[in-house]
């Protein structure tokens, strides 16, 4: 293989050309000041890219990624991203998004140790060790890993919410909402895990992450399934109302 990456540069030219042909003003708009409404805190996994997953163009989402979407409250990188996104870009939503089958989360569950990677994962590793009996009791290895990926998202949302940057924004009345999501590589769909936080009071009312580890959990529904259930619920309500309208009015205290 060549030491240069001319094939990628060629693909860039083709991409820029196709964008310009489809929308002559595309790059003019991109050159303007970015005003994204969303900050995405996700995993560095090459299969999970925020703009593609969300169906958004460049400029619509501010992105921070690291191994296993961990939020270290002493990490100057993520704190700088948070501060810039909240105080300068004025994002309205912060999405912490993990994914099923996360290699970083899987690493936190094994005994092997290394210098840098395991230092990075240590807060989550310690949570696993604290509740190892409960977690290891999940017989299916795949479901065990998936459950830990879900717990990791919830843990990191709490850690974001505990930063002075977020507290300060809420205290000054800034509209800022935190969300916990998880992505499934096998079907390309996002699941809404929660929690959803918009204030210090909501954050402080949350159960502890230890309580969430111990709580039984069903796999979260995709947005498609949630929307379908809501639609069926509305249809059911409409059917009940229709039945009520054709029944004997006297049964409801109404004179015929």
Q: Note whether 51 and 60 are within 8 A (CB).
A: yes
244 is catalytic: no
Catalytic choice (7, 29, 35, 47) = 47
| pLDDT over threshold 80, residue 50 | yes
| d(C-alpha 34, C-alpha 62), whole Å | 9
β-bridge partners, 62: 39
| Residue 152: Cβ-neighbour burial (10 angstroms; 0-12, 13-18, 19+) | buried
- Torsion sign across C-alpha atoms 11, 12, 15, 21: negative
Q: Any residues with CB less than 8 A from the CB of 43 and at least 6 apart, and which? A: 65, 66, 67, 68, 69, 97, 98, 99, 102, 104
Q: Before 173, cis peptide (omega within 30)? A: no
Catalytic residue among 43, 107, 179, 191: 43
Q: Using the predicted structure, report yes or no on whether residue 32 has a pLDDT greater than 60.
A: yes
33-220 folds as Beta-carbonic Anhydrase; Chain A (3.40.1050)
For the beta carbon of residue 119, count every other beta carbon within 10 angstroms. Answer: 12
Instruction: Say if residues 151 and 115 touch (Cβ distance below 8 Å).
Output: no
What confidence score (pLDDT) does residue 26 get? 85
Greatest distance between any 2 Cα atoms in the chain: 88
Over residues 76-93, the pLDDT tens digits come to 999 999 999 999 999 999
Q: Which residues, 6+ apart, have CB-to-CB distance to 256 below 8 Å?
A: 249, 250
Question: Of these residues, 64, 97, 102, 146, which one is catalytic?
Answer: 102
Q: What pLDDT score does 177 carry?
A: 98
Q: Helices 76-83 & 164-171, crossing angle to 10 degrees?
A: 20
Helix (H) or strand (E) holding 229: helix 223-246
Residues in the chain: 256
Residue 249 pLDDT: 45
Q: Work out the end-to-end distance of the chain between its first and last CA atoms, rounded to an integer number of angstroms.
A: 87
Annotated active-site residue 245? The verdict is no
Tell me whether residue 99 is one of the annotated catalytic residues. Answer: yes
Q: Is pLDDT above 60 for 251?
A: no
- Taking the domains of the chain in order of start, what are their residue ranges? 33-220, 221-256
pLDDT of residue 244: 57
The 10s digit of each residue's pLDDT in 175-234 is: 999 999 999 999 999 999 999 999 999 999 999 999 999 987 666 766 676 676 677 677
Selected catalytic residue, list 99, 147, 158, 191: 99
């Amino acid at each position: 293989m060549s030491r240069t990456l001319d094939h990628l540069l060629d693909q860039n030219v083709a991409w820029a050309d196709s964008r310009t042909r489809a929308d002559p003003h595309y790059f003019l708009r991109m050159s303007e000041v970015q005003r994204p409404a969303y900050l995405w805190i996700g995993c560095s996994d090459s299969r999970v890219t925020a703009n593609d997953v969300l169906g958004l163009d460049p400029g619509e989402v501010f992105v921070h990624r690291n191994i296993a979407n961990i939020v270290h409250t002493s990490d100057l990188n993520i704190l700088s991203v948070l501060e810039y996104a909240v105080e300068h870009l004025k994002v309205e939503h912060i999405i912490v998004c993990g994914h099923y089958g996360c290699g970083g989360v899987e690493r936190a569950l094994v005994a092997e140790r290394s210098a840098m990677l395991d230092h990075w994962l240590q807060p989550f590793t310690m949570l696993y060790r604290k509740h190892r009996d409960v977690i290891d009791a999940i017989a299916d290895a795949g479901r065990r890993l998936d459950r830990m990926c879900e717990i990791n998202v919830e843990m990191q949302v709490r850690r974001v919410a505990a930063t002075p940057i977020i507290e300060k924004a809420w205290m000054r009345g800034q509209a800022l909402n935190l969300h916990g999501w998880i992505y499934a590589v096998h079907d390309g769909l996002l699941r809404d895990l929660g929690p959803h936080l918009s204030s210090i009071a909501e954050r402080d009312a949350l159960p502890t992450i230890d309580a969430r580890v111990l709580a039984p959990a069903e796999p979260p529904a995709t947005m498609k399934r949630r929307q379908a259930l809501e639609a069926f619920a509305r249809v059911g309500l409409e059917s009940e109302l229709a039945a009520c309208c054709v029944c004997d009015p006297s049964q409801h205290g109404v004179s015929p």
